[in-house]
Amino acid sequence: ADHVICLGRDMKRVIIKKVGEQYIDNISVIPNWVDENKILPIDSEQNPFIKENGFENNFIVLYAGNHGLFHDLETIIDAADILKDYKDILFLFIGEGGKKNKIVKMAEEKKLRNVRFFPYQPEDVVPFSLTSANVSLVTLAKGVEGLAVPSKFYSALATGRPVISIMDDESEVACVVQEYNCGFNIKQGESQKLAEAIKKIYKDRELEETLGKNARKCFEDNFTRKIIVSKYNELFKKII
């Protein structure tokens, strides 16, 4: 390869550690993106997904996407258990994957009534299911940082909702969340801290609005289709 493109700064560090500092100029960071015209902030009162599913009176903590082996979903279930007495806080999982059966079983064993599981939604529903969230969760399993950057992060930012990442502080997603003050980062397994972060946003709607606006601004400044395509174009012109 003449050039290697990776998805985050943590991934670049992993590659340089493998191949050596002499290749640093041959490695660029260009993140994934979301079409800025497809995912837009929508007021909850105007969201058909919320109305159709009877979520009008819920504060929704959303995990949407792959329920895969490289995602820490157990911490979310444990946090749901801690917050089970908050009747209007709903943990909503949308998607499928290798860990889904495990976390469904965990929720059943804990008899959690504040957790719901939905399958992947049709493409025309996704803009509404994603924006149903009051808080979006993005996770990685411990040790996967630098090997993967969850693309769901960019959709979460585009919705204009606060983001809580569950991963190491040095991971790409956690760094962006902290740099743009659009949410919180919690390390894997820290379910009590996750519950506290969710409660903090739940109890302070002004904070929720501020973090959400910061999330959308972060997206518009960095992760739109137009911005990322231009970065590829600039790189191609340099190396061809």
Report the side by side order of strands in the sheet with 163-166.
115-118, 89-94, 59-64, 135-139, 163-166, 183-186
Q: Are 206 and 212 in contact (CB under 8 A)?
A: no
Q: If we measure between CA atoms, which residue out of 173, 136, 154 comes closest to residue 39?
A: 154
pLDDT of 183: 98
Q: Are 108 and 116 in contact (CB under 8 A)?
A: no
Q: What is the pLDDT along the chain (240 residues), one digit of tens a residue?
A: 899 999 999 999 999 999 999 999 999 999 999 999 999 999 999 999 999 999 999 999 999 999 999 999 999 999 999 999 999 999 999 999 999 999 999 999 999 999 999 999 999 999 999 999 999 999 999 999 999 999 999 999 999 999 999 999 999 999 999 999 999 999 999 999 999 999 999 999 999 999 999 999 999 999 999 999 999 999 999 988
pLDDT of 53: 97
pLDDT of 240: 85
- Residue whose entry in the numeric block shows the structure tokens 């504060």: 59
> What dihedral angle (degrees, nearest 10) is formed by the CA atoms of 45, 125, 138, 218?
-70
Q: What distance, in Å, lies between the first and last C-alpha atoms of the chain? A: 12
pLDDT of 1: 87
